[in-house]
Amino acid sequence: MIPRLIIPIIVALTALYSTSSAKDSLYFREDWKETAFALPITPEHVANSKLRMEIHGPGKLGIKKSHHDEIENDPFYVWSGMCEMPWALSLRKTGKRVDLSSSDASVRWRSRQSGNHGLHLLIKLPGEHWFISEQSDAGQEWHDFEFRIQDLTWRHYSIIKAVAEERVSTPSLAKVEQIGFTDQKAGKSSKFSSRLDWIEVRGTERTAPPQTPPVVRAKRVSTETPETVRAYQNLVYAKYGDRELSLDLYQPKTGKGPFPAVVFIHGGGWYKGDPSSYTALAQHLADKGYVTLNIFYRLSGEAPFPAAIHDCKSAVRWARANAQTFRIDPNKIGSVGGSAGGHLSGLLGASGNSSKLNKDGTHLDFASNLQACVVMAGSMDLTSEVSRQSASEDPRRRMNTFMGGAWNDARSMFELASPITHVSKSTPPMLFMDGEFDSPGERYSKIINKLDTFGIHNESHVIKDAPHPFWSSHPFFDPSLKILTEFFDQFLKSD
């Protein structure tokens, strides 16, 4: 029989052993799929089916999943040699978090660096709080490296710019949502780069709080080009030094033209995203008799406002400069965008005659004004109290990064970037569209009043059961396309 005094000791030791074992358990490991090299790396290259990958920063399209069959002991790895701007890669485990607050918590990986480059550890906490370790791995040959979490010090990390910012006290690491890595130097070929073969995280796994399910389960729309449409990929429409901006153009195969044109502007908080979110919509509008231009533009991590709107205007001018080549009617051009792209679409339409926003960019001998403009879930007044409060409370600092400063330091830019400040008698007809579950109508009341004072046609539509965003998924795609087509037919096809 065990003495009564011994029992508490045994229980305590058992609990201590169990806790230690749990805290030292493997949370996840990622080795990357053993497939041919690819640029950029995509979520399909993640081998662990429980993990989801995100890439970040203005250099993210340069992150390569690399491999060389002819080189001995060459693993399948992530390579930064083509990241000419800052970048980061992060992983999250579906439905889980990890507690890294114990003394046993660690992150290990196998890596190799070149040219004084080093890999830093990256973590994300709830509420979009990102941090980067001050310590880094700078080993010049393939080697295993371990970060003991309790030994690290941290800086705030701008996920928009993909750069380290101010130093912070050690954050609470009990609820880590994403873990990743980043190299704070630009890649310049194999001689100046970082490589990561595998990564494993040890800590205590926790279940993430459940998310509210959508009212309607959305399904991504296929982006297979219709047989009636001709596609031109990666057409360069603007160039700034070595930096090229491209667009994908879709053109009707039948009909002599010239056809009206529509510029598509993607969203993503001005700091992320790409034209793929509008590929289906651009393709299907082309099927309705339009030349559509689905554009890349400079994101805020690369260049703050007004760079993005200069790019949008350059795309319109490019369309006019190349009207004959692509059978475009230069007198019938519209735009459409959603979220941050909705804001830029609205600004593009409203600021057609703005001297301040039409002096930079390319093809300046052509006009950038529009004949129709569509805004989907985009802010029209960045100076409003609601917008300013949202900007000040945003841990990602999206609007402040886009504006190049906070309200007190960049007020003139907030005003210049607000479509409502540019509305005049020459503003084209505007259409506003929202999802039913995305604050329908709240963004537009003031600009609608101003449009009404000038007698400018405007209309508003709400997509039933739709969230934010809604324009690339079924069952919201077809009603959105119908509304766009009817609006553009009225103002870009009629005489």
Confidence (pLDDT) at 70? 76
Among the residue ranges 212-216, 364-368, 420-424, the one predicted with the least confidence is 212-216
Neighbouring CB atoms inside 10 A of 366's CB total: 17
Report residue 406 CA to chain centroid gap: 21
φ/ψ of residue 386, rounded to 5:
-65, -45
pLDDT at 18 over 60: no
- The answer to which of 71-80, 237-246, 348-357 has the lowest mean pLDDT is 71-80
| Residue 10 confidence class, pLDDT cut points 50, 70, 90 | very low
The pLDDT of residue 23 is above 70: no
For the cut 70, the answer to whether the pLDDT of residue 17 exceeds it is no
Percent residues over pLDDT 90 in the chain: 84
pLDDT band of residue 495 (cuts 50, 70, 90) is confident
Is 280 in contact with 336 (CB distance < 8 Å)? no
pLDDT of 420 > 50? The answer is: yes
pLDDT tier at 323, thresholds 50, 70, 90: very high
- Residue 24: which pLDDT band, with cuts at 50, 70 and 90? low
| pLDDT score recorded for residue 15 | 44
**pLDDT cut 70: percent of the chain above it:** 95
**pLDDT for 187-204, tens place per residue?**
999 899 999 999 999 999
Higher pLDDT, 8 or 286: 286
Of residues 432 and 12, the one with the higher pLDDT is 432
pLDDT band at 13 (very low <50, low <70, confident <90, very high): very low
Q: What is the mean pLDDT of residues 285-301?
A: 97
- From CA 347, how far away is CA 438, in angstroms rounded? 21
The more confident residue out of 41 and 6 is 41
- The half-sphere exposure of 17 on its side-chain side, counting CA atoms within 13 A, is 6
**Residue 426 confidence (pLDDT) above 80:** yes
Tell me, what's the pLDDT at 440? 83
How far is CA 79 from each of CA 70, 134, 301, 303, 373, rounded to the nearest angstrom?
A: 17, 21, 21, 24, 41
Residue 7 in this model has a pLDDT that exceeds 60: no
What pLDDT, in 10s, does the model give residues 430-485? 999 999 988 887 889 999 999 999 999 999 999 999 988 899 999 999 999 999 99
Domains and CATH numbers, the chain: 24-207 (2.60.120.430), 219-493 (3.40.50.1820)
Whether residue 71 is predicted with pLDDT greater than 80 in this model: the reply is no
Give the pLDDT mean for 93-118: 96
| 78, pLDDT greater than 90 | yes
- Please determine, for residue 3, whether its predicted confidence score (pLDDT) is greater than 90: no
Mean pLDDT of the chain: 92
Burial environment of residue 16 by CB neighbours within 10 A (0 to 12, 13 to 18, 19 or more): exposed
Mean pLDDT check: name the lowest of 15-19, 143-147, 260-264, 340-344. 15-19
Residues 164-183 have a mean pLDDT of: 96
Among 356, 362, 346, CA closest to 446: 346
Q: What is the pLDDT of residue 67?
A: 86
Output the CA torsion sign for 379, 380, 384, 388. positive
CA-to-CA separations, 477 to 308, 339, 390, 424, 431, in angstroms, rounded: 26, 16, 29, 32, 17
The reported pLDDT for the residue numbered 282 is 98
Rg (CA), the chain: 25
The answer to whether the bond into 252 is cis (omega within 30° of 0) is no
Can you give the pLDDT at residue 494? Answer: 82
Please, which pLDDT band fits residue 8 given cuts at 50, 70 and 90? very low
Query: Looking at residues 56-67, what average pLDDT do you find?
Result: 93
Residue 109, pLDDT above cutoff 60: yes
Residue among 168, 164, 150, 63 at smallest CA distance from 106: 150
Question: What's the pLDDT tens digit per position in 229-239?
Answer: 999 999 999 99
